[in-house]
Amino acid sequence: MLNSKSTCLRQKITIMKNKIIIIFLLFLSASCSESFLDNAPEDSLVVDNYYNTNEQVMSAGSPLYGYPWFYFNEKFLICVGDNYSGNSTGTYSDIAQFTLFSVNQGNQFATEGWDALYNVIGTANTLLHNLDTKVSADVDEEVIEAVRGEAYFMRATAYFYLVRTWGAVPIIHDMSQYNAEADVYRNTVEDIYTFILNDYNNAVSRVPVQRADSDAGRVIQSACNAMMAKVYLTLKDYTNAKAKAELVINSGIHGLLDNYGDVFHPRNNNSRESIFALQWVANQGWGTQNVSQAYLAASPKLTNAGDGWGTFQPSIDFQNAYEAGDLRRHETIMEPGDFYPDLVTSEGGYTVPSAGMTSTIAGWRKYVVGSKDEWADVGFMSTNLNTNIMRYAEVLLIHAEAILGSSASTTDSKALESFNAVRKRAGLANKASLTFDDILQERRMELAVEGKYWYDLARMDRTKALAILSNQERGDYNDGDYNDIITRKVTPSAGDFLLPIPGSEADLNPLLLEEPVPFDFNN
């Protein structure tokens, strides 16, 4: 059985789009020089003539950090990671589907997430092909291999999100698959994870241990090890998860920033706490910027840019999950009476109104940069704030959980050291022993609005996860009254732990509805 011609045409168009994206972003950044995203050479931007110097090859890897990920970051990551998990809510129809466990095949943001992740894969595949076929003999092998490692890393990361969100999906890894004769089936979950780990191992053997300041934010070995630690944790391979996390911890490269809120300000992009983050350029054209502030800021006064819509709101359940004294609360959600001297600075700061900001009263603070008065690189639906995919605090929590493993509790000193380092910054007391529930709670509060909590619930005991989700309050406060809740509790089913394959994809390629097949690792 062959795929339809329309499917093949779509795949070929995707490849062309990826090449155009590379040229577009390189051209876009030619006039700037603040980061590796802005270091395109000034000579020919034609792909076939592009891979002639070390600088050109390095620049060819830069688009992997932003544009292909745009619609993944725009709404999908929060919809799945935080709305689906009960951290966040939203009333817009396709967002509400995540809150209500009613995501269907036509959901706009699920489809955009699928498309974006395969766009990342297509961009990585195109780059790997070009590195094999178009590079001049004048380019240093070390440079070629470092960029090749970046492509492997990005492809692995995209597949890690795909397999956890949709389960069995097609492994597209070679240009020969983008033609009219190729059948595209889904591959087994087990083989996808093997493929992911192979790609991360291919990356870690090629990328450098550290980068120059001009290349801060590009993938280094600790990013590969951190992501592998998380993959192994997901697979319950605690021995390897611990070993990979300890490679990052013992590298001496990373550490926690002193103040939690500082992690989420663009002045601290690519700080010592950042291990892998998506990189954005503000006010340079649609698809290159971070739009999160537009949807998270709950008042247009905060941004003074025509956005600040409060599209995503902290759920009542999430608000009630904080321990007393948690310093992260003020830096994550904005509640009546809270004062922020670093926002609306033209008026001396911002105090949250007594009536609240949204139907859940609170608004999100995290990833809200403010207006041009606070940060020059702010525009309508546009900031240059990085999107955290992996940071050091999460590695510490992975390390603690890997030591706990399948035990009911642990008093291991190394597990406690890693875990309590995160709590200390949050102003919370040390714990003398740890359970999985302790770690799950800490991950929820530390990593909120970073698209993590759903994937934590999905990898735990299914009966326990269903009980947690069924008891969450996903409703609203009635007219800003804390004592009057319009309750909304939703009971998911076991089938809700994977999203349906987007209908537009299944229509184009009915083979996606067939049973998954093993992947041929020898091909």
Q: pLDDT per residue over 136-152, tens digit each? A: 999 999 999 999 999 99
Mean pLDDT along residues 80-89:
98
With a cut of 90, say whether residue 91 has pLDDT above it.
Answer: yes
With a cut of 80, say whether residue 13 has pLDDT above it.
Answer: no
Maximum separation of any 2 CA atoms in the chain, in Å: 71
Query: Could you tell me which residues come within 8 angstroms of residue 54 by beta carbon, excluding any fewer than 6 positions away?
Result: 139, 140, 143
- As a whole number of angstroms, the distance between CA 40 and CA 60 comes to 8
Q: pTM of the full predicted structure?
A: 0.93
What are the chain's domains?
5-207+497-513 (1.25.40.390), 292-385 (no CATH)
Distances (CA, A) of 403 to 71, 231, 235, 436, 475: 36, 15, 14, 11, 37
Mean pLDDT along residues 308-330:
98
- R_g (Cα) of the chain, nearest Å: 22
List phi, psi (to 5°) of 235: -85, 0
Distances (CA, A) of 371 to 74, 189, 334, 361: 19, 44, 17, 22
Q: pLDDT per residue over 388-427, tens digit each? A: 999 999 999 999 999 999 999 999 999 999 999 999 999 9
Q: pLDDT per residue over 276-303, tens digit each? A: 999 999 999 999 999 999 999 999 999 9
Long-range residue pairs from 76-79, CB within 8 A, at least 24 positions apart, any chain = 76/109, 76/110, 76/112, 76/113, 76/116, 77/113, 77/387, 77/451, 78/292, 78/295, 78/312, 78/449, 78/451, 79/109, 79/110, 79/113
Query: Could you tell me which residues come within 8 angstroms of residue 360 by beta carbon, excluding any fewer than 6 positions away?
Result: 89, 313, 314, 315, 316, 319, 476, 477
pLDDT band at 180 (very low <50, low <70, confident <90, very high): low
